[in-house]
């Protein structure tokens, strides 16, 4: 690890400052109504702070951070409902390019991703949206891709477009030019307003292989940790917003937080929020240390954080009552993000099963 504890604290403080100044609820609302579909100014700010290079190797011009640093920053990103392609571009696309085999590809693509000048997107799943290798329907043959991918984060905004595609080795990673012939990118109307998605059809699109199955698997684990951190941070923030309301909203002559019905819901949510934070952070350190139970921890974090954020955001609406049924209240923005995040790399059921399989493997 090349980032010291002091450096990490400074990086995190600068990110938090940026989010406090330019990632407010008003900024989120402006971003989701914008033609870009994300907060371009905030994304530039992230680039200016050098954060788009957080996990890129130092040799490639990045900061050399790993899972632990990434997870912590994602907690802040989640809390603010970050409307920028951090997960898509910095974590997945950047991770795949950095993990790729070819020095020329790295030299060509990484500087633009690290500076934030380019938005990276990666097509990872098919139209069934299961995020399993079997669900990848794109095939690579003779340097061309054919098939359909969907639910591609920032697919319509991408400058650097990658796709998981089957070749002789398994699911590998290919790069296609954003305006290539045979490529049809259709923006999707999504329930979550903060993360744009697209469907992408490949009809014999010229493509260049940049990474193999191992780099894909490794990067997806990093993506799961980043997402878990985002969920943990977002769950905590909507929980805090709810607590503030419980302390200040007066009915029947007293703050509603004084009623046991509310207290008991709040106490149960605190367990969920703390579970999510513990799961995300332990998964990050297990992967960073190459611990033997890393797969157990990554899969645990994947469903525990998804479920915690979903439950916290959903319950927060109920606890607020009528005010959270209005568009102007932020609770639904968290609920929408929670529901998208809970399926982004596959559903909780998938990860529960994989967690059990990983435990069986560790036990055996």
Residues forming the site for other proteins (CB under 8 A): 243, 246-247, 254-255, 257-258, 260, 262-264, 266-268, 270-271, 274-275, 277-279, 281-282, 300, 303-304, 349, 352-353, 355-356, 359-360, 363
CA distance 318 to 315: 5
Q: Which is nearer to other proteins, 178 or 243 (CB)?
A: 243
Compute the least distance from the CB of residue 154 to other proteins, in Å. Answer: 31
Distance of CA 224 to CAs 15, 29, 218, 281, 297, Å? 21, 26, 10, 12, 11
List CB contacts of 273: < 8 A, sequence separation 6 or more: 232, 235, 236, 239, 308, 312
Of the two residues 54 and 297, which places its CB atom closer to other proteins in the complex? 297
- CB nearer to other proteins: give 16 or 293: 293
Tell me the β-bridge partners of 140: 145
In whole angstroms, give the CA distance from residue 121 to residue 95: 11
319 within 8 A of 327, measured Cβ to Cβ:
no
Cβ partners under 8 Å of residue 292, min gap 6: 362
Nearest CA to 221 out of 53, 336, 357, 351 is that of 351
Of the pair 190, 348, the CB lying nearest other proteins is at: 348
Tell me the closest approach of the beta carbon of residue 295 to other proteins, in angstroms. 13
Reading the block at residue 89, the tokens are 């571009």
Beta bridge mates, 148:
201
Q: From the CB of 128, what's the least distance to other proteins, in Å?
A: 18
C-beta closer to other proteins: residue 141 or 250? 250
- Please state the closest distance from residue 254 (CB atom) to other proteins, in A: 7
Residue 298 beta carbon to other proteins: minimum distance, rounded to whole angstroms: 13
**Can you say how many angstroms the Cα of residue 258 is from the centroid of all Cα atoms in its chain?**
36
* DSSP assignment string, 246-307: HHH-EETTEEGGGSHHHHHHHHHHHHHHHHHHHHHHHHHHHHHTT-TTHHHHHHHHHHHHHH
Nearer to other proteins, 181 or 248 (CB): 248
**225: helix, coil or strand?**
helix
Give min distance, CB of 266 to other proteins, in A.
5
Q: Which is nearer to other proteins, 5 or 103 (CB)?
A: 5
**Residues 19, 42: Cα–Cα separation, whole Å:** 8
Name which of 101 and 360 has its Cβ closer to other proteins: 360
The minimum distance between CB 259 and other proteins, in angstroms, equals: 9
Shortest distance (Å) from residue 70 CB to other proteins: 18
Please, what sign has the CA dihedral across residues 108, 161, 87, 296? negative
Give CA–CA dist 181/199, Å, rounded: 16
In the complex with other proteins, the residue whose CB is nearer, 1 or 141, is: 1
Paired strand residues for 175: 162, 208
Helix (H, G, I), strand (E, B) or coil at 82: coil
The least CB distance from residue 91 to other proteins, in Å, is 23
For other proteins, the closer of residues 104 and 349 by Cβ is 349
Q: Tell the smallest beta-carbon distance from residue 144 to other proteins (Å).
A: 38
């Amino acid at each position: 690890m090349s980032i010291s504890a002091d450096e990490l604290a400074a990086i995190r403080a600068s990110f938090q400052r940026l989010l406090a100044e330019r990632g407010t609820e008003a900024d989120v609302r402006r971003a989701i109504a914008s033609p870009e579909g994300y907060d371009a100014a905030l994304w530039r700010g992230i680039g200016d702070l050098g954060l788009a290079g957080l996990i890129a190797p130092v040799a490639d011009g990045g900061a050399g951070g790993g899972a632990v640093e990434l997870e912590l920053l994602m907690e802040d990103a989640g809390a603010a409902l970050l409307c920028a392609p951090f997960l898509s571009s910095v974590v997945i696309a950047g991770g795949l390019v950095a993990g790729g085999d070819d020095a020329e590809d790295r030299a060509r693509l990484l500087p633009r991703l690290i500076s934030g000048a380019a938005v990276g997107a990666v097509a990872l799943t098919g139209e069934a949206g299961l995020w399993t290798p079997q669900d990848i329907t794109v095939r690579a043959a003779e340097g061309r891709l054919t098939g359909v991918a969907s639910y591609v984060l920032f697919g319509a905004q991408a400058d650097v477009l990658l796709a998981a595609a089957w070749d002789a080795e398994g699911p590998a990673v290919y790069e296609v030019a954003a305006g290539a012939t045979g490529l049809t990118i259709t923006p999707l109307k999504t329930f979550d307003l903060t993360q744009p998605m697209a469907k992408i059809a490949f009809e014999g699109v010229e493509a260049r292989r940049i990474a193999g199955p191992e780099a894909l698997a490794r990067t997806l684990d990093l993506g799961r940790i980043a997402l878990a951190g985002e969920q943990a941070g977002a769950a905590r923030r909507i929980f805090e917003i709810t607590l503030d309301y419980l302390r200040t909203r007066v009915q029947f002559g007293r703050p509603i937080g004084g009623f046991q019905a509310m207290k008991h819901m709040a106490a149960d949510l605190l367990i969920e929020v703390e579970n999510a934070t513990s799961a995300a952070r332990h998964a990050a350190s297990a992967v960073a240390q190459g611990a033997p139970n890393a797969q157990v921890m990554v899969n645990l974090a994947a469903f525990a954080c998804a479920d915690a954020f979903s439950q916290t955001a959903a319950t927060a609406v109920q606890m607020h009552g009528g005010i959270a049924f209005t568009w102007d209240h932020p609770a639904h923005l968290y609920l929408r993000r929670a529901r998208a995040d809970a399926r982004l790399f596959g559903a909780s059921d998938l990860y529960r099963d994989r967690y059990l399989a990983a435990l069986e493997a560790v036990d055996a």
